Structure 1
Amino acid sequence: MDKKIKLLDTTLRDGEQTAGVVFANEEKVFIAKMLDDLGVDQIEAGIPVMGEDEKKVIKKIVQSNLKASIMGWNRAVVKDIEASIDCGVDAVAISISTSDIHIKHKLNTTRSKVLDQMVKAAEFAKANGLYVSVNAEDASRTDAEFLLKFFKTAKEAGADRVRFCDTVGTMDPVSTYNIIKRIIEEVDIEVEMHTHNDLGMATANAIAGAMAGSTYLGVTVNGLGERAGNASIEEVILSLKHAMHLDSSNFDIKKLRDLCIYVAKASNREISPWKAVTGERIFYHESGIHADGAIKNPLTYEIIKPDDLGLERKILIGKHSGTAAIKNRLLDYNIYTDDNTAYHLLSKVRNTAISLKRTLTDIELLNLYNESLQDGNLLKNA
């Protein structure tokens, strides 16, 4: 790949469309600044036509002198774009449905009118000096030939790029790769991925799009978004680095977790302890084989350094532990354990963990160790 992958973050637009989520205006400004510090290329700041309160906060973001491009989201309607222009954004997303199910049941119109409406909006935006992304809503359920015609028409109308929207998250990585590759080859325009997580494949589909040549990936912090959410920025950045092996030095990965924690609080959506990339327990090891490997060399079972994400590696002692983990934990208390004692202690650890249905605390482990010593003394004196 010879093109840089850029991120369009839509936390402040699609992320806030998560059912029940509302960001305070100051929170939106602060999130925008954190995204900019992280290295995001473009921020979709909201929907200007929603009203004066929305426009006020978008204007404040625009006036914050961020390095990132600031985009306003619009329907394919001139008055929407006029509202974006009033906010001072440098880029607009112009969105209209392209699938027959949407055209018939949502828009109550025709394919021809969809094209005409999109062209009018795109040409108006370009005439006013804006960067334009034309969005095909429900692209993944759109007839392929009409989708190609839609994107070709958008290019002719002056669009700088097109957005492929897997609006209901129905795609898989293979079909995503194939359709994006075809669009790029036949339309010759930059493609942005906008993937939803209804089937749990939002990040995978975004990366598949990148592999096919897409240069913009749409993301949200913590995967916020309609229904099951969007591709999460934290997963996408780490996938670009560790799965695609691309240069990700333009993103300050050490700032990811603070951003995710802040958005989690602002959205009242807690981060699962097992959430990929940012969950606080993803570097916890209990299984004997895994713990032994991680103790000897973390690279055996970790592709990311916990410190890079502000997280901590822990070796838990429980039902699935082995003697190596037990001996290692006791060393923290300057206790050297021989193999026989560790093996005897392991049986106690497993039985106790099963009875408690959890891993053990250090105090519980030390108590079991002392019991093991007493058992050994009893055997010697018998």
Structure 2
Amino acid sequence: MEQRVLLCDTTLRDGEQAPGVAFGLPEKEMIARALAEAGIDELEVGVPAMGEGEIKTISQLAALHLPVRLITWNRAVLSDLQASYLTGIEGVAISIPTSDQQIKNKLRKDRAWVLDQMGQCILNAKKEVGYIVLGLEDASRADSTFLAEVLAEAQKLGVDRIRFADTLGILEPLKVFFTLQDLVKISGIPLEFHAHNDLGMATANSLAAVQAGFKALSVTVGGLGERAGNAPLEEVAVALKYTLNQEVRLDLKRLNSIGLMVSLATNRKIPRAKPIIGGDVFTHTSSIHIDGIKKDLANYQTYPPESVGRKHSTSFGKYSGRKTILRLMKAKGIEFDQDRIDELILKILRQTHLLKRPLEEEDIMGIVVSAC
């Protein structure tokens, strides 16, 4: 088994399932290159069963010979796999429902059929590709006994990795940790956790899976994906390094540019408070915080912003306070008496309310100059 946790990006597959998102070949190539150059471990690049256009696009990505393993997503259907083989791709992910809910009410089949169909597809794929991921759809609602049976069969058939999918995003970290430990104990195959963010716990659940012994995590840039999205690459990568003290091969300084690239390709703005890549996440406005970082960055520093290509900054708002304004004026060589300072602070507060945003240094200096 691999010791370092693998980051398996599915922006070009599950990310493209987000409403209104469709990448053209130039965008797919640009994103794939950026992620590969940053050091991502694996790219899931599409679904060949969608048709000739998708097969052609994936074939062109494969022809780039990027320094990363490329895989495609497939249902446990032989025709899906046949389409994947046409792309020249290195590996395939074969996904099959494992919860009784989906086996009975989506497939209209039973557990025996699932095991048989899974086996046929794995044996077929082993003749054509060098790497096989078995995806267990809706595994978070599956019976534990049946999951154990699936794992045993997959190991016997020589699968390279098994993906446990929390397809509906219903799990929480404690359940992930205690439930998945049992799977790790019985699996001789590396396990991957595929989190969805329906309840806002995709990153936390991904970390819990690693703590339980999982060796790979499924992620997307910015958390892009079906419904509420997937576990965000940037959050998971930084949390692995600074919360779990895990080795991360990915160049974290590239996260911001990759996030912006995907934002532009999808026409989706990055929320200002988005962890890691949001515009405001290293900006301090409260006078208490500003005073604290001036004395020692560690007072209000979760991790070094320089590690992700960012830096601390300050802005001015309702809670900036007198000390922050005076510090700026002193740095600029400007002195006012007490009454003028009180008047200045009131003007700054009014402007903050008017603009509905924190003020930058140039905004403050404009108010100061007008008061001179």
How would you bin the TM-score normalised by the shorter chain?
Answer: over 0.9
Q: Which amino acid aligns with 1:348?
A: L
Kindly state the Cα deviation for residue 329 of structure 1 after the two structures are TM-superposed: 2.1
What does the per-residue CA deviation read over 1:219-240, in whole Å, with 9 as the maximum and x for residues that have no partner? 0011011000000101111001
Q: Tell me, in whole angstroms, the C-alpha distance in 1 between the residues paired with 2:359 and 2:34.
A: 38
Q: Which residue of 2 aligns with 1:282?
A: 281
Q: Which residue of 2 aligns with 1:297?
A: 296
Q: Tell me, in whole angstroms, the C-alpha distance in 1 between the residues paired with 2:366 and 2:234.
A: 41
Q: Structure 1 pair 91/316, CA: closer, same or farther in 2 (3 Å)?
A: same
- Trace 1:83-122 onto structure 2 (pairs within 5 A): 83-122=83-122
Q: Which stretch of the first structure deviates more once superposed, 320-329 or 217-226?
A: 320-329
Q: Which residue of 1 aligns with 2:264?
A: 265
SS of equivalent residue, structure 1 residue 151: helix
Q: Is the 8 A contact 1:163 1:192 kept in 2?
A: yes
Kindly state the Cα deviation for residue 204 of structure 1 after the two structures are TM-superposed: 0.8
Q: Tell me, in whole angstroms, the C-alpha distance in 1 between the residues paired with 2:8 and 2:183.
A: 20
Q: Which residue of 2 aligns with 1:51?
A: 51
- Trace 1:37-48 onto structure 2 (pairs within 5 A): 37-48=37-48
Q: Is the 8 A contact 1:7 1:217 kept in 2?
A: yes
Percent identity between matched residues is: 39
Moved over 6 A (4+): 370-373
Q: Which residue of 2 aligns with 1:15?
A: 15
Say how many residue pairs are matched.
Answer: 371
Q: Is the 8 A contact 2:167 2:195 kept in 1?
A: yes
Q: Indicate the RMSD between aligned Cα atoms, in angstroms.
A: 2.4
Q: Is the 8 A contact 1:99 1:138 kept in 2?
A: yes
Q: Which stretch of the first structure deviates more once superposed, 80-89 or 99-108?
A: 80-89
- Flag structure 1 segments of 5+ consecutive residues without an equivalent: 374-382
SS of equivalent residue, structure 1 residue 30: helix
Q: Structure 1 pair 145/336, CA: closer, same or farther in 2 (3 Å)?
A: farther
- Flag structure 2 segments of 5+ consecutive residues without an equivalent: none
What does the per-residue CA deviation read over 1:120-150, in whole Å, with 9 as the maximum and x for residues that have no partner? 1111112334211111100001111111111
Q: Structure 1 pair 214/336, CA: closer, same or farther in 2 (3 Å)?
A: farther
Q: Which residue of 1 aligns with 2:229?
A: 229
Q: Which stretch of the first structure deviates more once superposed, 352-361 or 207-216?
A: 352-361
Q: Which amino acid aligns with 2:301?
A: E
Which structure: larger Rg?
1
TM score, norm. by length of structure 2: 0.93
Q: Which residue of 2 aligns with 1:204?
A: 204
Q: Tell me, in whole angstroms, the C-alpha distance in 2 between the residues paired with 1:164 and 1:309.
A: 29
What does the per-residue CA deviation read over 1:41-71, in whole Å, with 9 as the maximum and x for residues that have no partner? 1100111121111111111111112111010
What does the per-residue CA deviation read over 1:317-343, in whole Å, with 9 as the maximum and x for residues that have no partner? 2210133321232244233679x6797
Q: Is the 8 A contact 1:327 1:337 kept in 2?
A: no
Kindly state the Cα deviation for residue 253 of structure 1 after the two structures are TM-superposed: 1.2
Q: Which amino acid aligns with 2:141?
A: R
Q: Structure 1 pair 66/321, CA: closer, same or farther in 2 (3 Å)?
A: same
Q: Which amino acid aligns with 1:15?
A: G
Q: Tell me, in whole angstroms, the C-alpha distance in 1 between the residues paired with 2:31 and 2:363.
A: 43
Q: Is the 8 A contact 2:77 2:121 kept in 1?
A: yes
- Trace 1:152-167 onto structure 2 (pairs within 5 A): 152-167=152-167
Q: Which residue of 2 aligns with 1:352?
A: 350
Q: Tell me, in whole angstroms, the C-alpha distance in 2 between the residues paired with 1:298 and 1:321.
A: 17
Kindly state the Cα deviation for residue 362 of structure 1 after the two structures are TM-superposed: 4.5
1:125 aligns with 2:125: yes
Q: Structure 1 pair 298/343, CA: closer, same or farther in 2 (3 Å)?
A: farther
What does the per-residue CA deviation read over 1:260-318, in whole Å, with 9 as the maximum and x for residues that have no partner? 11111111211111101000111111112111112222221122333443434321222
Q: Is the 8 A contact 1:96 1:135 kept in 2?
A: yes
SS of equivalent residue, structure 1 residue 95: strand
Q: Tell me, in whole angstroms, the C-alpha distance in 1 between the residues paired with 2:270 and 2:367.
A: 34
Higher relative contact order (CA 8 A, sep 6+): 2
Kindly state the Cα deviation for residue 164 of structure 1 after the two structures are TM-superposed: 0.3
What does the per-residue CA deviation read over 1:188-244, in whole Å, with 9 as the maximum and x for residues that have no partner? 321001000000001111111111111110000110110000001011110011111
